[in-house]
Every structure is written in C-alpha cells, then in structure tokens.
Amino acid sequence: MPRPKSSTDRLSQLADATEQPIYAIDERQRIVFINAACAAWLGVAAEKLLGQECRYHSRADVASGERITAALCPPPHALAGQRMTGEILAASADPAESRHAEFIPLSGPDGKPAGVMVFVDDGVGSGARRIGRAPNPAEPEDLHLRLQRIRSRRANRYQIDRLLGSSPAIRQARAQAGLAAMSDVSVLIIGPPGSGRQHMARTIHYQQWGDRDALLIPLACSLLGADLLRSAIAALGQTDELAGAPARGTLLLSNVDALPVELHRELGECLQGDFPLRVMATAQRRLDELVESGRYDTELAAVLSTLVVDMPALAGRIDDLALLAQAALEDENSAGAKQLQGFSHAALDRLAAFHWPGNMDELYQVIQQSHRQAAGPLIEEADLPHRIRVGPEGAVKTKETTIVLDDFLNRIEIELIERAMKRAKGNKARAARLLGLTRPRLYRRLRQLGLADGAPADESAGET
C-alpha cells in the first residue's frame, strides 16, 4: 500500500501548480522555498536560489546572484514580524521588473519571527510594471526602490576621479579623499566658499558606501542655530535605526567653524560617545587656528579634525581652469538641447585672468550664463558676463545709469498705488489712507495714470 503523501509535498505541488510566484525565507534570511512560477519570473533555476541568503541592500557592485537574492529580500519590518505589502524586483530581468508582493511573517513556537512567506502578483493584472513608471506613492517599498535608484546614480556621480584637475593642490585633495574613504575617522574639509567642500564630502561618503543603504545627513551649522542643531544631533545620536534601515552613514556638519559656541562642549561629548554615524565637517577656517585664538573648543576641534582635506581656491589652480570650464560646459550640454563645443582662445584667456572669488560655484555660474548667451559652436569672449570681460578693475567702474524722471516717478507712483490697493483689498478709502492721500486725490491720480476711471461709483465693490 503506497504511503500517503506528506502535507509538505502536497503544499509544494499546489504552490508549483499556481501561476503566482511564491517564495519563503527562514529566520536566517535563507531562501527555503521557491515555486516554479517564481523561478520562471526570475529566469533563474530554483536550485540555484535555494539556501542562498538574502540581504536588504541594493548594491550594484556585487555578483549578479547576490543582486537577485538581495532584490528578493523582504523589507526589515516584514522580517521583524509585520505583515505588509510592497514591491519585489526581478533584478535578473532586462529591463528589471517590479511586482506588487505581500509579505506574510511566520512565527516560531516562541513567538519570535521564523521567516516570511512572499506572494508576488502574477503579473497578469496591474501588479507588474517596468522600473521607471510612476510607483504608488503610499507604499514604503516604492520609496525604498526610488531611494536605491537615486543612491546608485549618486554613487556614480560622486567619484574621486571626477574631482578634475592635475594641479598639485587638487591631486593632494584627491589623495586625501581616497584615504578618507578607506577609513571611518572624522574628516574636516577646509576651503573657501564655493570651492566644492560639500561635493568633496559627498564624494568621500559615496566612495566609502557605494550605493548601499547609508545616509548622508547634512546639518547647516550656521543656519540652524543652537536649538535646532541640538535637537537634530540628539535625535540622530539616540537611534540605532533610521527609516527602517540600520543607522549608518555620515553626518555632515556644514560650516562647523560657525557652530554656536554654546554647543561646542556638548557636541564634542556627544560625538565622542557611541554616535552611530561617521562625522564629516566643512569649514572655511582651520579649527586649530580658532582654538589658538580661544574661539573654539579644543576637544571638539580634535574630534572633528582626525583627517583634514584641503580644498584649493580656484585662483590657486588656474592651470586646471580650461578642463574645469569644459566640464561645466558639457554639464550644460547634457542638461538641454543646446550643444556647444568649447571656448575660443580669447574667452579662455579672459576666464584665466579672472580672480574667481566665488571659486568653483562661480565658475559654473559663469559657464551656465555664457552657455545661454552663446550662439555657438564656441563660447566667445563676448558671450562671457561683463565682470569677466572687464576683470576686477573694470568691474569697479559702474555703468552710468540714466532715467527719464517723469516716467520713472510715474512708474513708482503706479506701483505704490497698486500695492496699496492690493493691501487694502480694493478698498480705496483705506488705500488712500495708506498712501497719505485724500480719497478725491486718489481718484484723480487713478484717472490720470490710467489705472481706473476713478468714479466713486466704482469703489462700491471694494468698499466694505
């Protein structure tokens, strides 16, 4: 007499007969079951996936097998026992396809999470979509996918070899950045405004983390003030989980030399403890110099400056300017339909002769403006902003302004009357009071300036 088939076999047969992709992972996040429909959807034999661990990340720099299993990993909340819906990505498909999925946590006898069953939409209805279509904004998983894509793009954008130039100063900065990216120590990035300090911080962060789940949280020290900084840093320091993922990444304190003095000691103590994030900071001045002059806390300066990266002023690396200008121009080309080839010699000479007080930011601003101005194919000297063409000496001489007094005064009067009327919500009596006029005089001026016929009958709509 044949032995009756076990319920496990029957369940397996049933699951294999359905068109709906189903898989399960155990408490150690290993794939323990995957049905035929799921294997077919993924385009991978089930045997290759069984026993593989899935980890919740979206790194692109791993083997394709790991990318596939990572994409199958349920969100951390489901692993922790919360039933939820979300998106699952078939990373092996080309293009990648995501489908709606339901995550059903399984509990062990002790009530602890024992695994997750995942039921993926069969793709027949509206559940399947190619990546790139607008996702459902209410789903946290959509957010996670978008975040993954954005981080991946950023990881490509912020690379050390994109810190262009061959001058000794930028070569040294690149070397320092490489060193910083290989460690977890605090980094202080010093440079003048506009020199690309934030860009450098992002480069180090993305060089260190790639597109993995790691946050980069900037805090603007000069803008937030003591109260907001204190609460933000305290909140970050007290949590071991950020937005459903382990708290890891970088806290970037911008303009830390402008940090309110009353926070120095407190921040120093906070960052020396078990602060979960790496700390980077930007500053215009060296902190040790501020310490010497008694304007900065010694301990905080030491905590922040384990490794110092110097961002050079643009004027100090003019040899790089042609390359940087070309890179900026090609950025502009990539942003729109207008395509320019480069710069005339005369234009480059003008750019090289300028003193660039606003550094890289100003260079990009100038190239953006010149790109708009130029007819092409080259940016000519005449396309450059006036201050670049005339240089710092010429810029001091301001162009003579001429006006036609009567017209100008009329424009001012019209503007003031219109503003007063708006402020008075059309109430002419109130507008007249705001302008210090009598009501009849306001009517007369309205008529004379062609703003209204000024007849008292007209004001009934506005009068209250």
Partner 1 sequence: MMTSTYWPAADRRAGPTRADFGLVVYERSGWWARRLRACLGELIDVAEVRSVDELLSRLETLPAAIVVVELDLRALEASLAWLEIIDRRWPEVRVVVVACRGLSAYEPILREFGVIHFETAPRSLKHLEQLARRRHASLGEPRLGLVERIWSRLPWPQHGHRGGSNRPPLE
Q: How far is the CB of 413 from partner 1 (least distance, A)?
A: 11
- Nearest CB to partner 1, comparing residues 167 and 369: 369
- In the complex with partner 1, the residue whose CB is nearer, 411 or 441, is 411
Task: Round to whole Å and give the CA distance between 305 and 435.
Answer: 58
Q: Tell me the C-alpha distance between 392 and 229, whole Å.
A: 39
* Nearest distance, CB of residue 106 and partner 1, angstroms: 25
In angstroms, give the least distance from the CB of 330 to partner 1: 10
Identity of the residue, 18 or 365, whose beta carbon is nearer to partner 1 in the bound complex: 365
Residue 425 in 3-state DSSP? coil
Distance of CA 322 to the CA centre of its chain: 28
Q: How far is the CB of 240 from partner 1 (least distance, A)?
A: 12
Cα 350 to Cα 348: distance, rounded to the nearest angstrom:
5
Element (H, E) at 179: helix 168-181
Q: Which is nearer to partner 1, 56 or 364 (CB)?
A: 364
Q: Which residues pair with 130 in a beta bridge?
A: 97
Give the number of other CB atoms < 10 A from CB of residue 194. 19
48: left (phi over 0), alpha (psi -120 to 50) or beta: alpha
Q: How far is the CB of 401 from partner 1 (least distance, A)?
A: 5
Q: Where are the alpha helices (DSSP H) in 18-108?
A: 36-42, 46-49, 64-72, 76-79
Question: Can you spell out the DSSP letters for 270-294?
Answer: HHHS--SSEEEEEESS-HHHHHHTT
Q: How far is the CB of 373 from partner 1 (least distance, A)?
A: 11
Q: Between 164 and 429, whose beta carbon lies closer to partner 1?
A: 164
Nearer to partner 1, 112 or 386 (CB): 386
Between 81 and 385, CB nearer to partner 1? 385
- 95 SS3 class: coil
Tell me whether residue 127 or residue 140 sits nearer to partner 1 (CB atom).
Answer: 140
3-state secondary structure of 67: helix
Residue 308: CA atoms inside 13 Å, Cβ hemisphere, count?
Answer: 14
The candidate with the shortest Cα–Cα distance to 428, out of 409, 411, 447, is 447
Q: What is the closest distance, in whole angstroms, from the C-beta atom of residue 165 to partner 1 in the complex? A: 10
Residue pair 178/309 in contact by the 8 Å Cβ criterion: no
DSSP string for residues in 359-411: HHHHHHHHHHHHHHH--SSEE-GGGS-HHHHHHHHHHHSPPPP---HHHHHHH
Least Cβ distance, residue 357 to partner 1 (angstroms): 4
- Which residue in this structure is represented by tokens 């010093």? 190
Spatial CA neighbour of 147 closest among 201, 103, 211:
211
Least CB distance to partner 1 at residue 216 (A):
5
In the complex with partner 1, which residue's Cβ is closer, 68 or 283? 283
CB of 18 to partner 1, least distance (A): 31
CB nearer partner 1, residue 6 or residue 401? 401
Strand partners, 415: none
Residue 14: DSSP 8-state: H
